Amino acid sequence: MTLPRDDGFFMPAEWMPHSRCWMAWPCRQSLWGDRLEMAQDAYAEVANAIAAFEPVTMIANPEDLAEVSLRCGSGVGCLPIPHDDSWTRDTGPSFLVHERGDLAGVAWRFNAWGQKYRDYDKDQQTARSILEHLDVQVFEADMVLEGGSIHVDGEGTLLTSEQCLLNPNRNPDLSRSDIEEKLRANLGVEKIIWLNEGLIDDETDGHVDNLACFAAPGVVLALSSEDSNDENYAALQDNISRLRSSSDAKGRPLEVIEVPQPDRMNNDHGDRLSRSYINFYIANGGIVMPSFEDAQDGQAFEIISDAFPNRTVVSVSATDIAYGGGGIHCITQQQPLI
């Protein structure tokens, strides 16, 4: 089996130019319940915010295509691709590039975040469907992985969390070193930086896109808490400590910029919503970041604006998305420009 690394492919940083953004229309009634229409409105708002910077394609189940096109408006393209739900970061491909100008993608195995949902047969095929639509090379990975569990700097460094990638509900037969080798082989990275635990009640089991991301080579934004009584405090402090003691694949010590977490907000079952300002989308010339009508919204906006001085930062309300278990980064997938 040919591996991306052996063919010279690698995963570029998210701030590199995009040809488009991929999203998927919310449709899992059992997840969203009576919040489904509000979630759909929120997705449409995110799509249109991103469309101000780059093209957006919303995949929709074929029977929903006309309605989705109407709801999203003329600024968002729609494509009929069957799917079970709407987390394109996790079900879509991890796009790869080659220095000669080729585009490809990894289609990871998908098991609905450790079998948390029964119906995911369509989502298992989403990555391949998108890559086949684009007529680019498909690399089938022999490992369960969601795109929200990793973040790269495009220069050989990858961030992830032990809680997610080492969870026995994903790849019980793979050791830590096995997983590291598969990340290197499929994404062209050299160094893996492991964070530990994710947010409390996060059904993704600690996706890193709630915890930390690269803002530039050697620069990491990390979610933090100053309240020692907060249930996320210890995990977030540990993650920041790990980052501050790490260097990237080029040997650069990491500069860590802390971003405060929003205050606690519960879902209808009393579980804490996984709300994070780190869960934003980097677009061509812009950042589309979540807001939560929270006391920390303004400070988070300023920190992220300072971290991306050459991009226009736009806030979009993301609480309705958080009720489904994710954020703006979770529902988007960038396609690199070739």
Inter-residue contact 276 to 289 (CB < 8 Å): no
Q: Of the listed 21, 72, 164, 330, which one is catalytic?
A: 330
Q: What's the token pair of residue 251?
A: 């040997």
Q: Buried b / exposed e across 190-209, counting CB within 10 Å, b at 16+?
A: bbbbbbbbbbebbebbbbbb
CA angle at residue 174 from 168 to 176, to 5 degrees? 90
Q: Which residues of 11-21 are buried (b: 16+ CB within 10 A; e: fewer)?
A: bbbbbeebebb
Taking CA atoms, 94 is separated from 28, 73, 102, 139, 148, in Å, by 23, 27, 14, 10, 10
Tell me, yes or no, if 213 is annotated catalytic.
no
The Cα 163–Cα 204 span in angstroms is 9
Kindly list the catalytic residues. Answer: 330
